[in-house]
Structures are given as structure tokens and as C-alpha cells.
Amino acid sequence: MSVTNLNAFEIISFSKGFDLSGMFIVKEWRNEARFTSDKSASTIISKLEDVAKALNLRVRKKDNGVVKMQGRKEGRNGVLQFDIEIFEVTTSYHIIEMKQTSGDSLEYRQLLEEGIRPALKDIVLAWHGDE
Amino acid sequence: MMGCLPTKQVGRSTHSLNPREAVALAAETSCENVDLPDFVNIATGTPFTVNEVEALYDLFRKLSNSIIKDGLIHKEEFHLALFRNKKTNLFVDRVFDLFDQKGNGVIEFDEFVRSLSVFHPDAPEEQKAGFAFKLYDLRQTGFIERRELKEMVLALLDESDLNITSDAVEMIVDRTFDQADTKGDERIDQEEWNEFVKNNPYVLRNMTLPYLKDLTMVFPSFVIHSEVSEADMVA
């Protein structure tokens, strides 16, 4: 899993003030989640790998540093798939984005809320999109 | 073409109609002048179809009547739409100011559509780059200054609860600024910005909303009831 270094303008682009999707998509249905962490990249990566193993998810690394995670069973709307990308603000601050790419949204949200979020507690500073 | 009737006399119940149908019926049958926007005109020059502009109108009406019921989007209503709370945010303010093209403190429907069109996947990169430049030119001097960049980075860190040292902030700001400011005059002009963006396309990641291309999918109820068909539009 590789980490994308952010320049200052890229950092700024993460602001929710620029995220106009809030106008269109009801929050409950959003299939994107983001959290910040004050751990090192390697700590974050190994934690994500542990979580994937515990939740029985297949992990595939794409060329551009994005990691794809996939459920092993067919759900209501196909197999659950989501991408994870790690962005470095500094060596000890990272923004991690998770974006669902296929499968049923409700199933994904369930996995996120019940499986992924609790398991990541140790490395998460804050989830964004939460008010 | 129906003659006009005082609204009270319109027999048909309006309960079964969606808001647009109700407005359209009122427009056809009442003597009052109900002002629907000129969807065709507003769609022209944008990547949106007329159907999509109609869908945006329904969204616009919802947003523009959420706090102050006047059919115009005020800053608080814009804020509420994006943040679901009323905390101030530097970036929302900048986006609002750019959407408010006339600078009269509210976003009108045509401004709403034209500004959103910049975020369409099919909008030209130059348009997106130009919009972003104006966004980040906080004091509207025509240049992005080092301290403006720093101010924005600090605002983002504050928003994200990221607590990095001021040394680290300086380093990030300086590294980026020096990369962009190729003329070395302590400010980033349009030309330097366009070059910088070309070399760092990820900088414009927030300037594209992919689902703007599938608007009528996002709001499926609007497809069926459109008054205007694309075929009618061929001039």
C-alpha cells in the first residue's frame, strides 16, 4: 500500500466546504467515508490489513496506490467492493479515504458501522462527515 | 390554449400533482403570472440538458426556501445544505461568493446552474482551474499570496481536527508555494497557477462532481414529468 504526498492545495481540497455533494446526496446514503489519523503510514497500513483479515475481505493493491477491498460473498447487489486511499499531510498525520465502488449501499454501511469503524478505533483521530 | 381563470376556480385537485405540475397548472390556468425560469436559456452554454436544469430547479427551490422562504439561496441556506450545521467555514464562504456572480448576497437560479456547471465532468479544465484560482484568491487581488495559502491550510487543519506543528505547516506551505511561484515574486498569478495545475492535476479534485452527469438518475422522479422534451428543443 503506498501513500500519496499532498501539497498544500491538495490538502485544502479536502475541505467539506468544497464538497457540494452535500446538496445532492442525503448523508445516510453516502458511500464515502474519511478519517484522520496521527499514526504512521506503516501503522495505518498494517491495521487496515488486520481489519481486512478479521472481516474476511480480500485485499488487492492497484497501481496508483489505491487498495481495493472486496467481500468474499455475493450480497444483495453483487459483491461489496470499496477503495482505500491514504494521503500524507505529514509523516505523522494522514487522511484516509474509503469509497464504495460496488455492491449494496446498505450492506456497505453496515459493514462500515459494525465491522470497520469499531476495529479502527485505535488509529482514528476523527471521522469526517460526522457532525 | 386555456383561457385564464382566477385560481380559486381551478377544479382539479392539486393534491395529486408534484410541485412542478402544480406550478405549471397554475401558470396555464391562473391569471397570475407564475414565473418559471427559462430552462432552455439557462441550459444553453452549460453541459446540462434542459431536463437536468429542471431537476436542478427542484433542488434549488428546496435549498432556497430552507430558512428564508424567498426562492433565493442565502449564505445560511447554502451552509446548511453543505454542512447541516451553521458553523462558519472559510471555504463555504468563498464558494458562496463565487456562486453569487452578481454579488448581491444571494444565489439566484441562473447563477446556481452556471456555477454548478463548472463542476460538471464535461466542463473544460481551464474553467475549473479558473474557478479554483478565484476561490483561493481570498482577498480578490488577482493573485494567491503565501499568507492566503497558509490561512487556507490552517483553516483545513482546524476543520479536520488535525493538530500539526506550525513548523510543519510552514514547511508544507513553503514547499508548495515555491513550487508554484516560478517567477519568484511572492505571489501566484493565473499563468503560474495554470502551469501548476497542469503538473498537479490532483489539485482540482474538488472541482468535479461525477454525478452531475447523471443528475436525472439521482432524482429519478423528475424525468417522467418534464414539460419539455429534447426533440422540441431542436431550433
In chain A, domain spans: 4-128
Statement to judge: residues B175 and B114 lie in one domain: no
Which of B64, B93, B119 terminates a domain? The answer is B119
Domain extent for B201:
125-206
Chain B: closest CA distance from residue A107 (Å): 20
What is the tally of helices (H) and strands (E) in chain A?
5, 7
Question: B206, B212, B216: best mutation site toward chain A, by most A Cβ within 10 Å?
Answer: B206
CA dihedral sign, ordered B91, B175, A10, A34? negative
Statement to judge: residues B102 and B142 lie in one domain: no
Predicted local distance difference test score (pLDDT) of residue B218: 64
% of residues, chain A, pLDDT over 90: 40
Determine which of A22-31, A122-131, B17-26, B80-89 has the lowest per-residue pLDDT on average. B17-26
- Residue B142 lies inside a defined structural domain of this protein: yes
CB-CB neighbors (< 8 A) of B209 in chain A? 20-21, 24
Predicted local distance difference test score (pLDDT) of residue B140: 94
B186 with B146: CB under 8 angstroms? yes
User: Of A7, A13, A90, which is closest to B164 when you measure between CB atoms?
Assistant: A90
pLDDT tens over chain B, length 235 residues = 444 554 444 444 445 556 666 556 655 554 444 578 999 999 999 999 999 999 899 899 989 998 999 999 999 999 888 876 656 788 999 999 999 999 999 999 999 999 999 999 999 999 999 999 999 999 999 999 999 999 999 999 888 877 888 899 999 999 999 999 999 999 999 999 999 999 999 899 899 988 788 787 766 544 333 334 444 444 4
Predicted local distance difference test score (pLDDT) of residue B229: 43
Determine which of A52-56, A80-84, A85-89, B213-217 has the lowest per-residue pLDDT on average. B213-217
Nearest-angstrom CA–CA distance, A54 and B219: 38
The answer to whether the CB atoms of A7 and B161 lie below 8 A apart is no
The answer to whether the CB atoms of A15 and B91 lie below 8 A apart is yes
Q: CATH assignment of A4-128?
A: 3.30.310.80
Chain A: closest CA distance from residue B33 (Å): 29
The answer to whether the CB atoms of A7 and B203 lie below 8 A apart is yes
User: Of B63, B161, B172, which is closest to A126 when you measure between CB atoms?
Assistant: B161
Q: Which residue has the cell 454501511?
A: A109
Average pLDDT over residues A73-94: 88
The answer to whether the CB atoms of B209 and A24 lie below 8 A apart is yes
- In chain B, how many domains are there? 2
- Which segments within chain A are labelled E, that is strand? 3-5, 32-37, 58-61, 67-75, 78-90, 93-102, 126-128
Q: How many CB pairs under 8 A join A and B?
A: 115
Statement to judge: residues B135 and B190 lie in one domain: yes
Window 86-115 of A, Cβ < 8 Å to B? 89-90, 92-93, 95
Which of B79, B99, B119 terminates a domain? The answer is B119
Question: A4, A6, A18: best mutation site toward chain B, by most B Cβ within 10 Å?
Answer: A18
Q: Give the angle subtended at the CA of B161 by the CAs of B157 and B166, to the nearest 5°.
A: 45
- Residue B28 lies inside a defined structural domain of this protein: no
Neighbour count for residue A50 (Cβ, 10 Å):
12
Domain harbouring B136, CATH code: 1.10.238.10
- The ipTM assigned to this model is 0.76
- Tell me whether A29 touches chain B (CB under 8 Å): no
Please report which confidence band the pLDDT of residue A23 belongs to, taking 50, 70 and 90 as the band edges: confident
Cα-based distances in Å from B234 to B40, B149, B161, B229: 11, 47, 52, 10
